[in-house]
Amino acid sequence: QVKKQCDQKLLIRVKTKCVPCSLNLDTQCPAGYTKITNGTGTPDCRYYLEIKTHTLSFPGCRHRCVKEFEQPECCQGHWGPDCMGR
């Protein structure tokens, strides 16, 4: 039995929006993604507040999320929609 289908596993990474760290505890990842940071997340960003004519910048936190995705692919030497070609 020759293996014809060799799917590639892809890891898609996203970060949530930057918010005040104290508000980041309950931040959820997008549907289908798994949160890989804990607590208030990673303090590696800045968020902005507009007050009248000024924009203030504050340090904030965000969470990192991942999703595993399988991309269908044929093994070497096979091709076509059903990977039958040789």
Output the tens digit of pLDDT for each of the chain's 86 residues.
678 889 999 999 999 999 999 999 999 999 999 999 999 999 999 999 999 999 999 999 999 999 998 988 999 888 888 888 76
> How high is the pLDDT of residue 47?
97
Gap between the Cα atoms of 31 and 11, Å rounded: 15
> How high is the pLDDT of residue 1?
61
Alpha-carbon distances of 6 from 10, 11, 66, 75, rounded to whole Å: 13, 16, 22, 5
Gap between the Cα atoms of 31 and 59, Å rounded: 26
Q: What is the pTM of this model?
A: 0.73
> How high is the pLDDT of residue 81?
85
